[in-house]
Amino acid sequence: MSLTTIIKKNQLREQLPDAAHPALLRRIIELGSLPTVWNNVTTIRPRLLLTWVIPSITLMIGDQPRPALVHKEYLFSLQQNAHLYKDIVAMRGREFGDEYDNTPFDVLSILGMPCLVVTKQETGKQPIVISLEAFPEDEFYPETDLSFQSLTYTNFDWALYNSLSKTVREKMEKTPQFQQVLAQNPTRQPIAVDETAINLPL
């Protein structure tokens, strides 16, 4: 009889160069409603997590090659001063016309969109998305073998959810939207996953 587990040391992570990288919007995750602090006031606001893949760069995570992924979290708001609005405009390379004013816009429609992602990374930390730029019209779009993914609470994909990093899953589990999905599927429970999965943990 034995009591056995796996030894996991901190994995060495190759640094992502600070640059403007050709990228594709690979994944959109509806995190749910989470506490947000603004002017020292805490409110509960819906949030999204966007992930870009940089096809031209493969990073060594420990001894495993992984595609370079970068993430940015947003308030789910398309008001003109919201970060999500500004970054979508930056990716498009143009403002929304008057015809979009006060009309619904499906954020999932930008899934797979090419752009330039400007990143910066401090030693030992995850890379940060500094800004986004429209992809140059005279260049070929980058290509990736990774599938484009979206996860929303109206179309909840348990397999995709369980493939996310522990940090993201724990954040989602705190939201009322996740608890509602769980209540509607009482036999479904989150499962532990290998933290060396293809997604770079946040």
Q: What is the pLDDT of residue 190?
A: 58
Q: Burial of 122 by CB count in 10 Å (0-12 exposed, 13-18 middle, 19+ buried)?
A: exposed
CA separation for the pair 189, 105 (Å, rounded): 32
pLDDT tens for residues 17-45?
999 999 999 999 999 999 888 788 889 99
Beta-bridge partner residues of 30? 48
3-state secondary structure of 85: helix
Q: Provide the 8-state DSSP code for 103.
A: S
pLDDT tens for residues 44-75?
999 999 999 999 998 877 778 888 999 999 99
3-state secondary structure of 159: helix
The model scores a pTM over 0.95: no
